Amino acid sequence: MTGTIFDIQRMSLHDGPGIRTTVFFKGCSMHCFWCHNPESLLPEPEIQFFVDRCILCGRCQEVCDRHCHRIDPDSRTHDFHRAPCTKCGKCALNCPSGSLVRTGESITPEELAGIVLRDRAFFMHSGGGVTVSGGEPLLQPAFVHRFFTILQEQRIHTAIETALNVPWESLSTVLPVTDLILADIKHPDPEMHKAATGVSNELILQNFRILEQSGLPYVIRVPVIPGVNDSEAVMHMLNTRISGILHPLYLELMPYHEYGLKKYDSLSREHAALDALHPPTRESLIRLAACFDTVKVLFRDGSRTVTLSGGI
């Protein structure tokens, strides 16, 4: 059995308790226009080209059988022609500057466990563990089940970051070997949710209700996206939908950030819709947090965590 992942981040502090290693899975069942991990959307490998890192050494041009790279030393330009590219990764392997990156690698659960367990001492000392994220890790449920089984045998805490837009069977496959779920709600209204993400929220809310019945601890995460859900009206609607029905450990507001923009360029994907988008202010997050009266709400302010219990 193999899975497809695109990144492993060590020493993560915001993906569950303690110090964690977060593994990012490739492929997603939603298409949120603000996604900060655009390299996660497609399930297959892709080539990222960070043009500002290129030192025009010409190695990629030499090794590519498909003639995808054209370097002009006179004009000091490098054109990457994607159409003939087979994503073999040879150019990325030979690129000395990290300008070319093949994103999406196959790995077995045993190999992945071997890698993350190198940080076992940090997990044990801090009460941390391993989180799977994406993309949508629950599009590869059998892999996650096997991976987490190995980790739990080693007494490592396991967590999943998910959008819950998956068949319930996928979630139920992994629940027995999962310690914590971090699940998103992007918008409480089904039509607005569909306009922003490409899918309705009905399956997601249904999965939340079943998750609630399972008794597993979970956190609700709400990405705060200007123009999509950053109004008190939307947050009041969300508060109404969860009050008395869902009992998360807490609800986290996650402000939109601009770190993903360069990745769109690296994949030759347009991001016009993001150009006018800016992170919400601390004041607006406090205002939005006050809309919730039955759950503990928090957001991160730099390295600080701001907690607002049951509104202000």
Q: In the complex, which residues of this chain contact ligand SF4 (CB under 6 A)?
A: 47, 54-60, 63-64, 66, 68-69, 71, 78, 85-91, 94-97, 99-100
**What's the closest the beta carbon of residue 38 comes to ligand SF4, in angstroms?**
18
**What's the closest the beta carbon of residue 62 comes to ligand SF4, in angstroms?**
8
**What's the closest the beta carbon of residue 207 comes to ligand SF4, in angstroms?**
37
Alpha carbon 10 to chain centroid, angstroms: 15
**What's the closest the beta carbon of residue 106 comes to ligand SF4, in angstroms?**
16
Cα(163)–Cα(170) distance, integer angstroms:
12
3-state SS class at 312: coil
**What's the closest the beta carbon of residue 53 comes to ligand SF4, in angstroms?**
7
Please state, as a whole number, how many other Cβ atoms lie within 10 Å of the Cβ of residue 271. Answer: 18
For ligand SF4, the closer of residues 5 and 64 by Cβ is: 64
3-state SS class at 217: coil
Cα(269)–Cα(278) distance, integer angstroms:
19
Q: If we measure between CA atoms, which residue out of 35, 34, 100 comes closest to residue 24?
A: 35
CA distances from 232 to 132, 146, 227, 310 (A): 31, 42, 12, 15
3-state SS class at 139: helix
For ligand SF4, the closer of residues 79 and 293 by Cβ is: 79
**What's the closest the beta carbon of residue 82 comes to ligand SF4, in angstroms?**
8
For ligand SF4, the closer of residues 97 and 309 by Cβ is: 97
For ligand SF4, the closer of residues 44 and 283 by Cβ is: 44
Residue type, 284: S
For ligand SF4, the closer of residues 76 and 304 by Cβ is: 76
Cα(45)–Cα(37) distance, integer angstroms:
14
Tokens of 243: 């009050």
End-to-end CA distance of the chain: 49
For ligand SF4, the closer of residues 212 and 265 by Cβ is: 265
